[in-house]
Amino acid sequence: MVLLIWSVPALSQSSTDVRRLTLPECIDIAIANNISVRQSELSVRQNQVALEQSKADLLPSVNGNTNFSYNVGRTINQFTNEYVNQPVRQQNMSITADVVLFNSFRKLNTIKRNRRDLASSEYGLAAQKNDITLDVLQAYTQILLNQELLRNAEFTNRTTQSQLERTQRLVDAGSLPIANVLQLEAQQATDELTIINAENNLELALLNLKQILQIPESEPIEIANLDGEVPELVSLPESADDIYNQAVSTLPQINQATEDIAARRYDISIAKADFFPRITASAGIFSQYSSIAPDSIPRSGTDNVLRVLPTGDFLLVPDGLPGLPVGSRVPVFTEIEFPSELTNNTYVNQLDFNYRRFAQISLNIPIFNNWRTRTNVANAQIGLENARLNELNQRNLLRQTIEQVFLDVRSNAKQYQAAERRVAQLLRAFEDTERRYQAQAVDIYAYNQAQNNLTAAEADVLQAKYNYLLSLKVMDFYQGKPLSF
């Protein structure tokens, strides 16, 4: 009980711990929890099963069969080949094996096609993970921006509060009119509204990231702050073609489209196989039991013997045969095979007696099947052309995306540099206005205007900074570089 009491506060304390996540950790969590990624993994497993099955199709197929029947009425006695009219209980059983000897390499091409489909699904899974990675990157960057906007708003509010306290003292001393205090209080209310909006935007950004990570909204998390300085523009590649040439051989969507083209080529070969003959081999064993068998049956494995028996017919002796009177009757004899050894008609003995084996080779020659094979070949060729167009489309989309990202990096870098210069100028202007306001050389309206201009410029520089960082990280992603802040 003492241990239980001690563990309750510890559990409640651990449940409120804030989970601190880096960008790589967020990416790993999002990929592990994403339903689309898990569905893509199932697709990969399905293609693995299909590949293994196509390999197993090269082996012979073996099947066993048995059936039991009860017939009433006219039927054939299999031992005498005579019709009987009595109830018959009969059981047949067999084991057969079939193997395809030649089918124009249809099964081999199916294995190759399934191997390409498996590779395509694996690349598709990697592409799905890349999409999740970019979503996490954008959401993560938005949180970093909103955090800095919140800190900037709080700093501005503290500056206003400090100025309000100083102005209040001057008003109390009679050096400034009360309107200055009222104006600063209105400015402080505006700053507080800005803080509230920044907090709401941060909460929305955190919620967006949690939804991408598939974690509950109630779970508290925080992300790692920006580590390091913003890279300079001079570190960029010379052109978008350099990035494209590097990405086209590494990005999974291009490799997936290439594998699809190879798979569709095998579809054509598989469809054309139906134009050619197919050779199959079969073998099996068979036996049966019948209730109308005689009491004694030949013993399995013994040879038959010939016996000479009268047929019951007679011949009249014609004239001219010596020693026999004309017109006398002579019996007719014939040779009949009889089993040399008999055995009791038991279930096992009858199965042993009726046991037989067979082997056969079949040749199936297609002559006309309502143009079905030709239609299948045409559809496979259309599928190949569609796969080629899809690869071309993927390459075009990749080139357009990289060109856009490359342009975004350059333009966002220039905007960021310009925004920094503007902040530096407005900061000097604000400091000058603040000194003049303290010297009562300008009124409160000029002071507030200078502060608002500086606050807006600082927000603009933060927006430009993270726009540049996001586009730079996206470009790093297409270059195959690890993502981290």
Closest CA to 463 of 142, 22, 35: 142
Alpha carbons 217 and 207: distance in angstroms, whole number: 6
Does 227 have pLDDT greater than 70? Answer: no
Say which residues have a Cβ less than 8 Å from residue 203's Cβ, sequence separation at least 6: none
- CA 174, chain centre distance (Å): 76
**Which pLDDT band, with edges at 50, 70 and 90, does 81 fall under?**
confident
Looking at the fold, whether 158 and 270 belong to one and the same domain comes out as: yes
The answer to whether residue 86 sits within a structural domain is no
Phi, psi of 358 (to 5 degrees): -150, 155
Phi, psi of 365 (to 5 degrees): -110, 115
**Under a CB-based contact definition with an 8 Å cutoff, are residues 408 and 472 in contact?**
no
Please, what sign has the CA dihedral across residues 268, 274, 276, 279?
positive
Tens of pLDDT along 431-471? Answer: 888 888 878 788 888 888 888 888 888 888 888 888 888 88
Looking at the fold, whether 307 and 272 belong to one and the same domain comes out as: no
Tens of pLDDT along 177-203? Answer: 888 888 888 988 988 999 999 999 999
Say which residues have a Cβ less than 8 Å from residue 296's Cβ, sequence separation at least 6: 342, 343, 344, 345
The answer to whether residue 484 sits within a structural domain is no
Q: Quick check: helix, strand or coil at residue 314?
A: strand
Looking at the fold, whether 334 and 395 belong to one and the same domain comes out as: no
Q: Quick check: helix, strand or coil at residue 17?
A: coil
- Tell me the sheet residues that pair with 330: 315
Mean pLDDT for 307-317 is 74
Closest CA to 310 of 293, 331, 290, 327: 331
Q: How many domains does the chain have?
A: 2
Looking at the fold, whether 220 and 335 belong to one and the same domain comes out as: no
Q: What is the pLDDT of residue 485?
A: 60
Does 277 have pLDDT greater than 90? Answer: yes
The secondary element (H helix, E strand) that includes residue 446 is helix 444-478
Quote the tokens at residue 76: 């054939």
Quote the tokens at residue 62: 């073996």
State the virtual CA torsion across 36, 40, 45, 48 in degrees, nearest 10: 170
Does 9 have pLDDT greater than 60? Answer: no
Mean pLDDT for 36-56 is 94
Looking at the fold, whether 210 and 334 belong to one and the same domain comes out as: no
Burial (CB count within 10 angstroms: exposed 0-12, middle 13-18, buried 19+), residue 218: exposed
Looking at the fold, whether 32 and 144 belong to one and the same domain comes out as: yes
Residue type, 100: V
**Which pLDDT band, with edges at 50, 70 and 90, does 301 fall under?**
low
Mean pLDDT (the chain) is 85
Looking at the fold, whether 186 and 271 belong to one and the same domain comes out as: yes
Measured from the Cβ of residue 187, the count of other Cβ atoms closer than 10 Å reads 22
Looking at the fold, whether 336 and 374 belong to one and the same domain comes out as: no
Looking at the fold, whether 326 and 192 belong to one and the same domain comes out as: no
Does 245 have pLDDT greater than 90? Answer: no
Mean pLDDT for 27-45 is 93
- CA 442, chain centre distance (Å): 68
The answer to whether residue 483 sits within a structural domain is no
**pTM score, two decimals?**
0.78
For every residue of 344-393, DSSP letters joined together read E--HHHHHHHS-EEEEEEEEE----STTHHHHHHHHHHHHHHHHHHHHHH
Which residue would you say has higher pLDDT here, 174 or 317? 174
Does 213 have pLDDT greater than 50? Answer: yes
Looking at the fold, whether 335 and 220 belong to one and the same domain comes out as: no
Distances (CA, A) of 293 to 84, 322, 393: 12, 48, 75
Alpha carbons 448 and 458: distance in angstroms, whole number: 15
Q: Among residues 293, 319, 340, which one ends one of the domains? A: 340
**Under a CB-based contact definition with an 8 Å cutoff, are residues 208 and 139 in contact?**
yes
The answer to whether residue 264 sits within a structural domain is yes
Does 74 have pLDDT greater than 50? Answer: yes
Closest CA to 84 of 291, 292, 297, 318: 292
Looking at the fold, whether 396 and 450 belong to one and the same domain comes out as: yes
- Token match 């019948």: residue? 290
Say which residues have a Cβ less than 8 Å from residue 281's Cβ, sequence separation at least 6: 98, 99, 101, 359, 360, 361, 362
Quote the tokens at residue 353: 């007696």
Closest CA to 384 of 253, 256, 255, 267: 267
Does 161 have pLDDT greater than 80? Answer: yes
Alpha carbons 91 and 231: distance in angstroms, whole number: 85
Q: The CATH number of the domain where 454 resides is what?
A: 1.20.1600.10
Which residue would you say has higher pLDDT here, 319 or 180? 180
- Tell me the sheet residues that pair with 64: 95
Phi, psi of 5 (to 5 degrees): -65, -40
Alpha carbons 54 and 266: distance in angstroms, whole number: 14
Looking at the fold, whether 333 and 449 belong to one and the same domain comes out as: no
Q: Which of 134-138, 278-282, 283-287, 446-450 has the lowest mean pLDDT?
A: 446-450
The secondary element (H helix, E strand) that includes residue 38 is helix 35-56
The answer to whether residue 158 sits within a structural domain is yes
Alpha carbons 188 and 451: distance in angstroms, whole number: 12
- CA 273, chain centre distance (Å): 30
The answer to whether residue 78 sits within a structural domain is no
Residue 331 structural domain: 303-340
The answer to whether residue 77 sits within a structural domain is no
The answer to whether residue 331 sits within a structural domain is yes
Closest CA to 442 of 430, 453, 454, 452: 430
Say which residues have a Cβ less than 8 Å from residue 350's Cβ, sequence separation at least 6: 289, 290, 293, 297
